[in-house]
Structure 1
Amino acid sequence: MQMPVHIVAAGGLVENSKGEILLVKERRGGHWVFPGGQVEVGENLMDGVIREVKEESGIDVIVSHLVGVYSNTATYEGHSGVKIVPTKVMFDFVCQPIGGALTTSDETSDSRWVNKEDVLDMVTAPALRTRYQAYLDYNGSVQYMDYITKPKFEIKMERTI
């Protein structure tokens, strides 16, 4: 039996005291997203999101609370020698900025604070739009969702936990 393989990632929904959300623009693809990425070997989820936000945007954060857990159960052919991209499990955390300065990175070409109500005008990826809406709708219960992104975005299961 083959051992299961998952990519584990953490996303940071960073809101400042003005009600603005931190967004970064991906170098590859040019899409606006909230910062986040894969958790490294030996790294816990919260340290991973803190590191990813800092690396991608220059902003230092503390983690407030978990708002969503998501499974992207689509598997598809990768790039750069990756044969198959496995199932991804993502944890979205609300974070508060505590320092740093906006910057870019090897992965991002821009970073900025965006009015909370304008975020959906900039974020175009259906999965990220859905996850951001779960943040806006947060009522104390964590959102769980199973979706696929390819060949097209489709929610397979949704509930609060």
Structure 2
Amino acid sequence: MNYPVHIVSVGGLIENEEGKILMLLSPDRGWEIPGGQVEEGESLTNALKREVKEETGIEIVVGKLRTVYSNITKRVQLDGISSIGSIVNFGFTGKAISGELATSEESLEVAWVDRDKVLNLIGKDFMRDRVKNMLNPDDKIIYGVFTREPYILHEEQFI
């Protein structure tokens, strides 16, 4: 019996005291919010704290869950045969509590960006849709399903 394989990831819409949003320039996806894969045995919130610190140098407190997105793009391992599985991403808000901006192997540049300029920086449609919904002041959680290359949003609903 083959067991399903899913990658779980997190992303954070992190604000500082001035209300600016933490953004990073990824080497392969352009400007985006910080986040990444949840490691085995790690909680979603601890994964977000770790990823934000690793990618930006900023320590945070995690806020509310705002989005859940399923990337159902069919992908394969380097062997060309084995499935990688879909990605489920949980998007949280958060507040910066300490640290200095710092780049890493996963961030070519890190910046605090005015809230009204965030969406203009993001080049990838899937990330722009996710962040747009995280910026929405409505307290509902948004669930979406998409595929990439080409980007198609198959479903989006408030939960």
TM range (shorter): over 0.9
Return 5+ residue gaps in structure 1 as ranges. Answer: none
Q: Deviations over 1:53-94 (max 9, x none)?
A: 000000000001100001001112455989543200000000
Whole-Å separation in 1 of the counterparts to 2:17 and 2:125: 27
Whole-Å separation in 1 of the counterparts to 2:57 and 2:78: 28
Displacement after TM superposition at 1:131 (Å): 0.5
Tell me the equivalent position of 2:113: 114
Tell me the equivalent position of 1:158: 156
Whole-Å separation in 1 of the counterparts to 2:77 and 2:103: 25
Which amino acid is the alignment partner of residue 106 of structure 1?
Answer: E
RMSD (CA atoms): 1.7
Which amino acid is the alignment partner of residue 47 of structure 1?
Answer: N
Whole-Å separation in 2 of the counterparts to 1:4 and 1:146: 18
The answer on whether the counterparts of 1:67 and 1:138 sit within 8 Å (CA) in structure 2 is no
TM-score with structure 2 setting the length: 0.94
Whole-Å separation in 1 of the counterparts to 2:78 and 2:116: 35
Q: How many residues align?
A: 159
The answer on whether the counterparts of 2:29 and 2:124 sit within 8 Å (CA) in structure 1 is no
Tell me the equivalent position of 2:50: 51
Structure 1 residues 78 and 113: CA distance shift in structure 2, 3 A: farther
Whole-Å separation in 2 of the counterparts to 1:80 and 1:48: 28
Structure 1 residues 114 and 78: CA distance shift in structure 2, 3 A: farther
Displacement after TM superposition at 1:46 (Å): 0.2
TM-score with structure 1 setting the length: 0.92
Partner-residue secondary structure (3-state), 2:51: helix
Tell me the equivalent position of 1:4: 4
Alignment of 1:11-160 (within 5 A): 11-27=11-27, 29=28, 31-77=30-76, 83-150=82-149, 152-160=150-158
Displacement after TM superposition at 1:12 (Å): 0.8
The answer on whether the counterparts of 1:19 and 1:115 sit within 8 Å (CA) in structure 2 is yes
Return 5+ residue gaps in structure 2 as ranges. Answer: none
Which amino acid is the alignment partner of residue 55 of structure 2?
Answer: E
Percent identity reads 36
Which amino acid is the alignment partner of residue 94 of structure 1?
Answer: T
Partner-residue secondary structure (3-state), 1:157: strand
The answer on whether the counterparts of 2:144 and 2:153 sit within 8 Å (CA) in structure 1 is yes
Whole-Å separation in 2 of the counterparts to 1:143 and 1:41: 25
Whole-Å separation in 2 of the counterparts to 1:108 and 1:81: 28
Structure 1 consecutive aligned stretches of length 4 or more whose deviation exceeds 3 Å:
77-85
